[in-house]
Amino acid sequence: MSEAYGRLLIRDANYVVTLDDARRILQRCSVFVEGGVIRDVGAPAELDTRHLEACRAGGSVIEAAGRLVVPGYVDTHVHTFEHLSRGLIPDDLATQDWATLYARPFYSGLTEEEAFVSARLACAEMLRGGTTCFVDTNILLSLGHLDAVAQAVEESGMRAILGRGVFDRMPAAMAARIPEETRARILSPDADRALAESEALLRRWTVRAGGRIRAWASIYGLCPYTSDELFAGVRHLADRYGVGAAFHIASSLGEARSLEARTGVWPITHLDRLGALGPNLLLTHCTAMREAEVEMLARSGTKVAFCPGAALRLGKGATRIGLVPEMLAGGVTVALGADGVSSSGSFDMTRLMSLVAGLFKDARMDPSLVPAEKALEMATRDGARACLLDGEIGSIEVGRCADLALYDVTTPEWVPVHDIVRNLVYCADARSVTDVIVDGRHVVRDGQLTTIDVKRAAAEAIEAGERIARRLELTPRTRWPLVGPSSVEHHD
Ligand SMILES: [Zn+2]
């Protein structure tokens, strides 16, 4: 089904938002791709002369009049394991009950096949929204489950960073609610064995699918789940293999306060003291922070994946106690993450951009914070830097990997176009994404995936989601009565 790697001419687009160093937005522009790499960007007539004949003869041409081209989005924090739980978890639970009562039991029960079905659905959703690269370093249970996710990513054509989300501590309240057998499956008995599990992946491979999929050292993170030895050890593991490391931290005020009761400091300071911060570390959330900790992240080059959707749904306090504007002003690389469908709801990167551009304007009553252009950088260039893929993806320049998303900018929510970036961030959504290219491959064509049979992927996801919920006796606790056709009363 998939398109072969080869020559591709994106012809005469209305706009190409390059995200190059000068942040040029090129009007009436063509882009030529060959062998997975952007080879030529410029005036349509010139690129026609150089490439049109060859592309028509032995490649493909996208007629891009009425289209916008942007770099494919980089989603720096997702849980592909969560996709089959969509809608299952009530929206009145804070992080702890959300995880203990639903998310953890759900994750812990997935078979390898279900992990594949879940990840394939997640890839389909991301691609249709223009996301071309993602980070999922929370693949629990086994290397077999990780292989299943990697297989789904490979088939989808996406770019990804994958890792195990191991941990060596479990809060007593959670342990009491999770059966012994399940606990043994997901909890490592100590830091050494957790690190050995994370390393087992790196010993097998750090790069596959021609470099499109990479493995990182990773732990689940968060203070209640992680010993000091494990926080320090995962950085060293990443250093030894020359890869990145990733985990959750400072997710909530509760986490920060319980650590403070034990150590006298909040999570980022704790990591700094452990020597765990560094330029190859990507931290998710970083909500419960003190101003002095911004400098620790900046000085160490540590990156942050901010998940606005999860903050809103789980009530994390990102706008009340979070320091995203301070981190941006302080030179910290802050990128965007969708998190999971049950913790946030949407993998649409335009929604995440709109949220990050709006949340702090309102919270601080300062509309100068996080302009639309910054939100777009967070979804592209900054995401690439967070993934240690700076210089490879995140901008449209000759020599970069050809990861691109095209929008139809003639639809009602797009016109008139007085400023293309403002329209993209505040007005558009995934509906107007028409084409997506990853590594030079045309994986979404006219809104249709070429690498995934979406009907089959959806049918198998529905079946698996219902099966898991039944097996684990998880019910959605629907608030309103669900009335079947036979129960509807007729009044003549
Ligand atoms: Zn997460």
List of domains in the chain: 7-71+396-449 (2.30.40.10), 73-386 (3.20.20.140)
Ligand 1 centre to CA of 360 (Å) is 21
Ligand 1 centre to CA of 338 (Å) is 8
Ligand 1 centre to CA of 304 (Å) is 12
Ligand 1 centre to CA of 94 (Å) is 14
Ligand 1 centre to CA of 339 (Å) is 5
Please tell me the distance from the alpha carbon of residue 272 to that of residue 284, in angstroms, as a whole number. 16
Ligand 1 centre to CA of 161 (Å) is 14
Ligand 1 centre to CA of 490 (Å) is 47
Nearest residue to 298 (alpha-carbon basis) of 329, 325, 271, 319 = 329
Q: Is the pLDDT of residue 64 over 50?
A: yes
Ligand 1 centre to CA of 15 (Å) is 34
Amino acid 2: pLDDT = 39
Least confident of 67-81, 174-188, 375-389: 174-188
Amino acid 172: pLDDT = 83
The two beta strands, 131-139 and 159-164, are parallel
Amino acid 329: pLDDT = 98
Preceding omega of 416 cis (within 30 degrees of 0):
yes
In angstroms, what CA-CA distances link 165 with 61, 142, 226?
41, 10, 11
Is 417 exposed, middle or buried, given 0-12, 13-18 or 19+ CB atoms closer than 10 A? Answer: middle
Using pLDDT thresholds of 50, 70 and 90, give the confidence band for residue 3: very low
DSSP letter assigned to residue 85: G
CA geometry: angle 107, 109, 111, nearest 5 deg: 100
More confident residue, 70 or 177: 70
Average pLDDT value for residue range 34-60:
97
Q: Which residues of 356-371 are buried (b: 16+ CB within 10 A; e: fewer)?
A: bbbbbbeeeeeeebbe
DSSP letter assigned to residue 130: T
Average pLDDT value for residue range 437-458:
98
Ligand 1 centre to CA of 343 (Å) is 8
Both tokens of 416, joined, read 């008139």
CA geometry: angle 54, 57, 61, nearest 5 deg: 75
Provide the residue count of the chain. 492
Tens digits of residue pLDDT in 138-174: 998 899 999 999 999 999 999 999 999 999 998 887 7
Ligand 1 centre to CA of 150 (Å) is 18
Ligand 1 centre to CA of 108 (Å) is 15
Nearest residue to 165 (alpha-carbon basis) of 301, 340, 355 = 340
Please tell me the distance from the alpha carbon of residue 313 to that of residue 308, in angstroms, as a whole number. 9
Nearest residue to 59 (alpha-carbon basis) of 440, 477, 482 = 440
DSSP per-residue letters across 394-417: SS--TTSB--EEEEETTSTTT-S-
Tens digits of residue pLDDT in 368-425: 999 999 999 999 999 999 999 999 999 999 999 999 999 999 999 999 999 999 999 9
In angstroms, what CA-CA distances link 290 with 235, 258, 268, 271, 356?
23, 15, 9, 13, 20
Q: Is the pLDDT of residue 4 over 70?
A: no
